[in-house]
Structure 1
């Protein structure tokens, strides 16, 4: 067998093995790794690279070595899930760097973290003074988690006392010009509803690159042709405007009628409708 053919076969085999090993180690291996996982990734990558290109090496031995480097971290991860002490030893503990605006110098030295590195990490969080931080902790993954003091946190609807509607997960119902039936069913909708909404926008499914339905059941689409402007959904603004018009009409009827009983009825229902509009306005904006 020519060497170039053997290298191709070895490479394909090691790619499959590396893919299966990475999948077996879980998604955390792809994002935030502890020291053990970091070492494992380096060693497995080195084993795969050597046995993929070295035709004199025994591929079977390489697979065995990679499998051992897979099974040992996997076993350690499984045991650490059952034992907090072992988990702290393998994954490490969080280290407090700032508390009540005060930098913990001893903890910085313990983690070999300089003040320049700390300030750089704070600037990444848009914080330029350590005194503005309530709590900052270095996670075992190496990332810095920061909690600013209350007066420096962004305003939220809760702080302002504003009622906001709950959000549900948006669903992608069209992708690459094709209907995705499962997300559509998750929203308790069907293809007929989708076609009706597309007709309102004067758009055909084949021309849609991505179509999404938000938590309020409104469809927004992105077309293949970026030069075509698609109107924004108008159902909610129109409904709000219609309710306000009805409330205004009730007030006008109350002013126009000379029948005292009818006037009180109009005024009573106008107040009820106004109260209802106030409560649902956050949901319709």
Structure 2
């Protein structure tokens, strides 16, 4: 019984408790983490795995729950204007109107060389192209270019583009996505008719990697057998498989 508790139940319980707590703490805790998110996740990870060594599962679970509750409380307080200035780090400006802000660079610990490299990653060759560059709370770089450096927008030509249409998956990995069919107020019979122009029937669903409903009201179908294998140099792919 002790063997089962120590080597089977304890690891499973540790995983389940950790998974549940991270779900309760929300997506923010595991997305782009701030310093506060990072320290909480590190402490939680250390605390929750402690019973694997010491066998004190109950005590470790209690501490982990308390840490998660403290995180949730502080996260809620950080949304309140009365506490936000104490709990949330403001963005740091490091480039303003094309000029490097040396004070801002020193504050975030970034050298000029590192700054130039980060800007190249964003697609800019010089700070002079940018109206504003800030380091956000989670450490990411935000770049706002001068108006003559940004991509051309439809509004520049007084054009109003159509709303963006998001293709709706109806078959994924050989399985019909029934809730999306329901969203379109259609059934499998309708799906079978939509597959006919692609020489498929409902019996061939397992062969379809992805089928999506497009803006024209038709299906785009991607199968497990590509149709462009004989297109010569257009079918090149990197590696040794050619």
Question: Structure 2 vs 1, CA of residues 105 and 76 (structure 1 numbering), >3 Å: closer, same or farther?
Answer: same
2:170 counterpart SS class? strand
Q: Is contact 1:157-1:163 (8 Å) kept?
A: yes
Count of matched residue pairs? 226
| 1:126 counterpart (123, 138, 145) | 123
Cα RMSD of the aligned pairs, angstroms, is 2.0
1:212 counterpart SS class? strand
- Which ranges of structure 1 fall in alignment gaps of 5 or more residues? 230-285
Residue 91 (1) aligns with residue 88 (2)? yes
User: Which residue in 1 is equivalent to 2:43?
Assistant: 43
Distance in 1, matches of 2:162 and 2:216, equals 10
Distance in 2, matches of 1:108 and 1:48, equals 37
Query: How far off is 1:85 after superposition?
Result: 4.4
Question: Structure 2 vs 1, CA of residues 6 and 26 (structure 1 numbering), >3 Å: closer, same or farther?
Answer: same
Larger mean CA deviation between 69-78 and 184-193 belongs to: 184-193
Q: Is contact 2:50-2:56 (8 Å) kept?
A: no
Distance in 2, matches of 1:117 and 1:3, equals 53
User: Which residue in 1 is equivalent to 2:235?
Assistant: none
Distance in 2, matches of 1:217 and 1:89, equals 52
Q: Is contact 1:197-1:219 (8 Å) kept?
A: yes
Distance in 1, matches of 2:182 and 2:164, equals 18
Residue 70 (1) aligns with residue 68 (2)? yes
Distance in 2, matches of 1:98 and 1:194, equals 54
- Which structure would you say has the larger Rg? 1
Query: How far off is 1:208 after superposition?
Result: 1.4
Larger mean CA deviation between 131-140 and 90-99 belongs to: 90-99
Give the number of the structure whose residues are more often helix, by fraction: 1
Mapping of 1:112-261 within 5 angstroms? 112-162=109-159, 164-205=161-202, 206=205, 207-227=207-227
- Which ranges of structure 2 fall in alignment gaps of 5 or more residues? 230-242
Distance in 1, matches of 2:97 and 2:152, equals 20
Distance in 1, matches of 2:59 and 2:189, equals 58
1:142 counterpart SS class? coil
Q: Is contact 1:96-1:137 (8 Å) kept?
A: yes
Q: Is contact 1:170-1:213 (8 Å) kept?
A: yes
Distance in 1, matches of 2:136 and 2:120, equals 17
1:152 counterpart SS class? coil
Deviations 1:10-33 (A, max 9, x none): 110010000011001101111111
Report the TM-score when normalising by structure 1.
0.73
Question: Structure 2 vs 1, CA of residues 119 and 197 (structure 1 numbering), >3 Å: closer, same or farther?
Answer: same
Question: Structure 2 vs 1, CA of residues 163 and 72 (structure 1 numbering), >3 Å: closer, same or farther?
Answer: closer
Distance in 2, matches of 1:105 and 1:228, equals 54
1:20 counterpart SS class? helix
2:106 counterpart SS class? helix
Query: How far off is 1:149 after superposition?
Result: 1.3
Distance in 2, matches of 1:116 and 1:86, equals 36
